[in-house]
Every structure is written in structure tokens, then in C-alpha cells.
Amino acid sequence: MPMINSPVESLFGIIDETATLLKDELACSYLEAVAETGENLFQGDVLQEEVSELTKKRLNKKYDEVNFSQLENENIRKAFQFAILKGMKENVQPNHQMTPDSLGLFISYLVNKFTAGMNKLTVLDPAIGTGNLLTTVLNQMPGKETQSIGVEIDEVLIKLAYVGADLQKHPLQLFNQDSLEPLFIDPVDLVLCDLPIGYYPNDLRAQDYELKADEGHSYAHHLFIEQSLKHTKDGGYLFFIVPNGLFESPHSAQLQGYLKEKADIQGFLQLPLSLFKNKNSAKSILILQKKKEGIKPPKEVLLAQLPSLSNQRALQDILSKIDQWLVQNK
């Protein structure tokens, strides 16, 4: 009896096969070919003029096998994600990394809890990458009307974000630029960001930020926090994936002083070490709410060390504690 592939496996197989054909025809990387084949799938035709007629026929035959009306958004996202991960393994670059699925789903849970009662949301990801974190969260809030904005300096990644959002029918406005340059966008209700960690090389641009370093390069992740708060509505929420030692670094006093003035820290949740290669790369979720007149800070900050996200019993205990905290503090 033949094996029946899951919808994710079937779609990934088509994306993979057609991307491989396009990679050879267009003499480009596999990752670039994934973006091209994704756009073809969305448009229902081969858009690349350089492709030979024979290959066009082969591609269209494969594209005809896909019926998006029968596919759930999460299946589309996962199949597209698997192809992107394959491309990233073939051509490793430091800025080509993806937020793990389990982490994206946990942040989705938190976002839904904190934005309960908000039926319309504008969302910003100032370091959108391939869009995987953003679309994971959007897929978990089907009852909300959302408009999203993403910023990304890498042209390949932003094209993947654009195609992925199109395939999942999420309205997304994209800016291909350095996120720390001026952003011409209206303030948003919600910010999501897996923060780029490290030093920001543009010292001249950093001078425009309160969190600039007195000497040498500034921390990019600090500047991203400031930029995000600048573009958040009063009372809006921000969810950042940050280094565990965010408040223990050489410039942490400066960051704490800035946050005390601009936002209320809602929570700091340490992620399980099993998600990371080593202790030094371990991260946490920082939850902020931008200050607004009439909104009081929480009685106590939500602090937790999360168990392995595959340990259902321990995770359920933590989720119960978070629910209890929300009742007492929101």
C-alpha cells in the first residue's frame, strides 16, 4: 500500500522540486529559487522569462498539483519554512537564522493572552527576516483583523517574507532598509521581534538614539528596543526575544533607566536551554508595555524559567501560573 504524504510533505516536495529546477535555470542559490517558486505558486504561473519552454511545462505541471483552497495556513507556512531551512543549511550566513517553531507558538500564546479583547491589531516586526515568527503568530489569531509591517535589510530574506505572507493571505507592508534608519510608519499596537544581537556598525546613525554607547559601537539590540518603542502606540505591547544576560551587560544600567522612563516591564521568561546550542546563546522573552496615562504597571513582573516545551505537564503548570498572573495584574 503506498504511503500517503501529509499536506506539509506534499507541498514541501513541490516547492523543493520546482526550486531545484529554477536554481539550475536561473543560476541562483536554492534560497533565492525558493522565493521565485513561491511567487510562481502564488501567481499560478512561471514569471521568469529566462526559463526554457520545456522547464516551464514541467514547473506548471507541478504547480497545478497545488490547491491552496484546501490547505491550512500553518501547513503552507511549515512547508515553506522547511524549504527555507534547507536553503539556509546549504548557504550558511550569520543573519540567515529562523525563530524555532515551538518558540513562535509560545509567543503566539502570550500575544493572544495580552491582547485579549483587541479585535484589530497593527503589528510591526522590525527584523522580520523570512517572516516565520510573524506569520506563526498571525496564524494563531484567526479572529483578529491584522495589518502587519516588516523591515529587513537582506533582499533575499525580505522576498521570502513577502512570498510567504502572500501564500498565507496575510496583509503585509515591507520596507527593505536598515531598521535603525528612520521608519516612515504609523505607530502600531504590537511589536514582535527576535532581536539581532551584537554591535551596530553605523556609529553616526547610532548618535540619534538615547541608548547609544558613550564610546565605540552601540548594542544593536538596545537600539532596536528604542526604535520599536518609538513606533508603538501608548499602551501597546512589545514582545522581544533577547539574550538571557540583557540586564547584566556593560550597558544594562543605561537600558534599565530608559525602560523605566518609557515602558513597564510585564514579563521576563527564560527559555529552556534545550532550544539553544549552548548556555551562552540562550535567550528569554521580554514583554513590555509602552507607558500610557491611566495604565498602571503590574503589581509584580512575570518572571519564569520555562521548562522544555515538549514537557507537556511542566509546561501546563507554567501556563496556569501565567493565567493566574494575568488575572491578578491585568
pLDDT above 50 (res 235): yes
Tell me the pLDDT band of 1, cut-offs 50, 70 and 90: very low
**DSSP track, 3-16:** PPPPHHHHHHHHHH
C-alpha cell of 77? 507556512
Geometric angle at alpha carbon 133, from 105 and 184, rounded to 5°: 140
CATH annotation of 7-90: 1.10.150.470
Supply the pLDDT for residue 249: 85
Domain ranges for the chain: 7-90, 101-329
Average pLDDT, the chain: 92
Average pLDDT of span 29-52: 95
Number of H helices, E strands in the chain: 11, 10
Let me know: does 68 contact 76? Beta carbons within 8 Å: yes
Supply the pLDDT for residue 94: 55
Q: What sign for the dihedral angle of Cα 93, 94, 99, 101? A: positive
Q: Is 68 exposed, middle or buried (0-12, 13-18, 19+ CB in 10 A)?
A: middle
Supply the pLDDT for residue 97: 63
Q: How far apart are CA 262 and CA 264, in angstroms?
A: 7
Percent of the chain with pLDDT over 90: 77
Tell me the pLDDT band of 307, cut-offs 50, 70 and 90: confident
Q: Which residues pair with 84 in a beta bridge?
A: none
Of 283, 289, 314, the closest CA to residue 302 belongs to 289
Q: Which CATH architecture has domain 101-329?
A: 3-Layer(aba) Sandwich (3.40)
C-alpha cell of 3? 504511503
pLDDT above 50 (res 8): yes
Q: Grid coordinates 496575510 are at which residue?
A: 170
Supply the pLDDT for residue 311: 82
Residue count (the chain): 330
Q: Which residues pair with 304 in a beta bridge?
A: 269
User: pLDDT tens digits, residue range 171-202?
Assistant: 999 999 999 999 999 999 999 999 999 999 99
User: pLDDT tens digits, residue range 147-172?
Assistant: 999 999 999 999 999 999 999 999 99
Q: What dihedral angle (degrees, nearest 10) is formed by the CA atoms of 51, 52, 58, 61?
A: 70
User: pLDDT tens digits, residue range 109-140?
Assistant: 999 999 998 999 999 999 999 999 999 999 99
